[in-house]
Amino acid sequence: MSQSEHRIYARIAGTGSCLPERVVSNEELAQRVDTSDEWIRTRTGIRQRHVAGEGETTSELAYRAALRALEAAGTDPSELDLIVLGTTTPDLIFPSSACIVQHKLGAQGCMAFDVNAACSGFIYALTIADKFIRSGAAKTALVMGAETLTRMLDWNDRGTCVLFGDGAGAVVLKADTETGILSTHMHADGSKKDLLWNPVGVSVGFKPEEENAGVRVLMTGNEVFKHAVKALDAVVDEALESNGLERSALDWLVPHQANLRIIEATAKRLAMPMERVIVTVDRHGNTSSGSVPLALDEAVRSGCIERGQLLLLEAFGGGFTWGSALLRY
Ligand code: UT7
């Protein structure tokens, strides 16, 4: 028996997603802050975003996305060995939102935890689940990226409030002897914390009596932009090189959806036409960890992405954190 016949891969068996009901257009935001549909569209590619309403918590959106992914995979929640949720906006400080999702699914007993890697949360969560499956420690995993970032936006800051939206995506991974995730690469640079962060926390001093006084996303957008393009260029090169693949081998790029101009820069680096790039930022805005699995599910369900195709997923976010996953779907 050859070496490769012993290999275990984590293969995506099903995908799902969920968006909040309420849609907020650029025009609606322009009535609140000094901005315009034209500025938002030309600088970011965003036309609208979904904003979570009452009851649409991170765990609830993740749960609904998970139900769809489980159904698509033909998997019962009782089969899950592992639940990992990438999020930077958990329902509560603890327990983790993954534990809340586990309970909602009725999937008692398996391990469940959150991963906070800001917008790279789904790539980090996918990487962890891939390692568990490759090592034989888990056979079936639920991996989600879910956020309600709009809950912590300063709606008077035009520099950030026009960028973000809420949503969740999920995949069910199953151990497979043929193919699946080929490689993942994760990186972080904690020295750039102040360029994209939320200064409110528990151990630095949480003052609930101040009524969300400090709960807001702070970003130096143009600096983040430059770092994102550079890091994503490097991480897509790294993914191809470590698999000995040419750029032309890729069927689809499924990028983090922060800004259409960043997506176009990565596509250019890969010499990929935009018809081979999944774009949802126009309708979803930046949903942080939700963005990659949301885009993936949309492309799978619309029939763009087909079984056997080679996909490159990538993300960049606060931390800084960034990473990629190369997989055969
Ligand atoms: O997902 C995590 C990673 N996040 C990202 O990757 C986001 C990366 N950054 C970006 O996407 C872009 O930097 C932004 C979309 C945030 C900003 O675009 P930009 O082309 O970098 O603009 P800028 O920050 O350099 O600002 C240009 C001008 C400024 O005015 P002055 O100083 O030139 O007079 C801003 O005050 O645009 C102004 N501006 C706005 N004007 C209208 C900033 N926000 C707005 C707005 N409407 N919403």
pLDDT tens profile 52-70? 999 999 999 999 999 999 9
Please give the domain boundaries of the chain with CATH numbers for all domains.
Answer: 3-178 (3.40.47.10), 182-328 (3.40.47.10)
The stretch 293-310 carries a mean pLDDT of: 98
For residues 12 and 140, what is the distance between their CA atoms, to the nearest angstrom?
10
Ligand 1 centroid–CA 163 distance in Å is 9
Mutate to test the pocket of ligand 1, among 88, 223, 225 (most ligand atoms within 8 A of CB): 225
Cβ neighbour number for residue 136 with a 10 Å cutoff: 9
Q: What is the pLDDT of residue 210?
A: 63
Q: What is the pLDDT of residue 199?
A: 87
pLDDT band at 3 (very low <50, low <70, confident <90, very high): very low
pLDDT digits 0-9 by tens, 230-255: 999 999 999 999 999 999 999 999 99
Closest CA to 309 of 183, 185, 179: 179
pLDDT at residue 256 greater than cutoff 90: yes
> Could you give the maximum distance between any two Cα atoms of the chain, in Å?
67
Tokens of 284: 């979803």
Ligand 1 centroid–CA 231 distance in Å is 19
For residues 129 and 140, what is the distance between their CA atoms, to the nearest angstrom?
9
Residue nearest to atom 26 of ligand 1 (CA): 222
* Cα distances (Å, whole numbers) of residue 308 to 11, 241, 292, 311: 11, 20, 19, 9
3-state secondary structure 69-101: HHHHHCCCHHHCCEEEEECCCCCCCCCCHHHHH
pLDDT digits 0-9 by tens, 106-144: 999 999 999 999 999 999 999 999 999 999 999 999 999
Residue written as tokens 């690469």? 185
Q: What is the pLDDT of residue 214?
A: 62
Helix (H) or strand (E) holding 27: helix 26-30
Coil, strand, or helix at residue 43? Answer: helix
pLDDT digits 0-9 by tens, 176-225: 999 999 999 999 999 999 999 998 888 887 766 665 556 789 999 999 99
Phi-psi region of 230 (alpha: psi -120 to 50; beta: other; left: phi over 0): alpha
Q: How many residues in total does the chain contain?
A: 329
Residue nearest to atom 36 of ligand 1 (CA): 159
Coil, strand, or helix at residue 206? Answer: coil
The catalytic residues are 119, 256, 286
Q: What is the CA radius of gyration of the chain?
A: 19
Mutate to test the pocket of ligand 1, among 26, 43, 149 (most ligand atoms within 8 A of CB): 43
Burial 228-262 (b: 16+ CB within 10 A, else e): bbebbeebbebbbeeeebeeeebbbbbbbbbbbeb
Q: What is the pLDDT of residue 203?
A: 87
Q: What is the pLDDT of residue 181?
A: 98
What beta strand segments (E) does the chain contain? 9-18, 22-25, 48-51, 82-86, 111-115, 140-147, 167-176, 181-188, 196-197, 218-219, 252-255, 310-317, 321-328
* Cα distances (Å, whole numbers) of residue 214 to 199, 210, 217: 7, 8, 9
